[in-house]
Structure 1
Amino acid sequence: MRSILKQKIIEVCDKKIASKGNSVGLSFYAFFANKNDDPELLMEAATWWIKTHQLDHFEKAVKIKALIDAG
């Protein structure tokens, strides 16, 4: 996964956790604007989320952040 995507995921997770607490859930769509302006990056996130880690549509932000931190 590209470092720019990892950085964006961490930023979004930190922001969501700070505003809504440790139990907040999100989907991989949370890392993108409402328009599909970078389909390759979106597919990279979707592949990591769905194929690599077999995550549910919504997951806890703390879990996603931990997966990114773990590499």
Structure 2
Amino acid sequence: MRAELRAKILAVCDQKIKAKGENIGVSFYAFFKNKNDDPEQLMEAATWWIQTHQLDHFVKARTIKEMVKNNL
């Protein structure tokens, strides 16, 4: 995963946790605007989420944050 995407995921997870609490769930769409302005990065996130880790649609933000921090 590119450093840019990694940083974006961590920042969004931190923001969501701060606003909604430790149990907030996110999907990989949470890291992108409604307008698809970076399809390569969106596909990279989708591949990591769906193919690599076979995650459910919504996963706790804290879980995603830990996975990204640990380079999983």
Please give the range of the TM-score, normalised by the shorter of the 2 chains: over 0.9
Deviation, 1:25, is 0.2
Aligned partner of 2:32 in structure 1 is: 32
The two structures have a TM-score, normalised by structure 1, of 0.98
SS of aligned partner of 2:19? helix
Aligned partner of 1:5 in structure 2 is: 5
The two structures have a TM-score, normalised by structure 2, of 0.97
Unaligned runs of 5+ in 1: none
Number of aligned residue pairs = 71
**4+ residue segments displaced more than 4 Å:** none
Deviation, 1:29, is 0.3
Unaligned runs of 5+ in 2: none
Percent identity over the alignment? 65
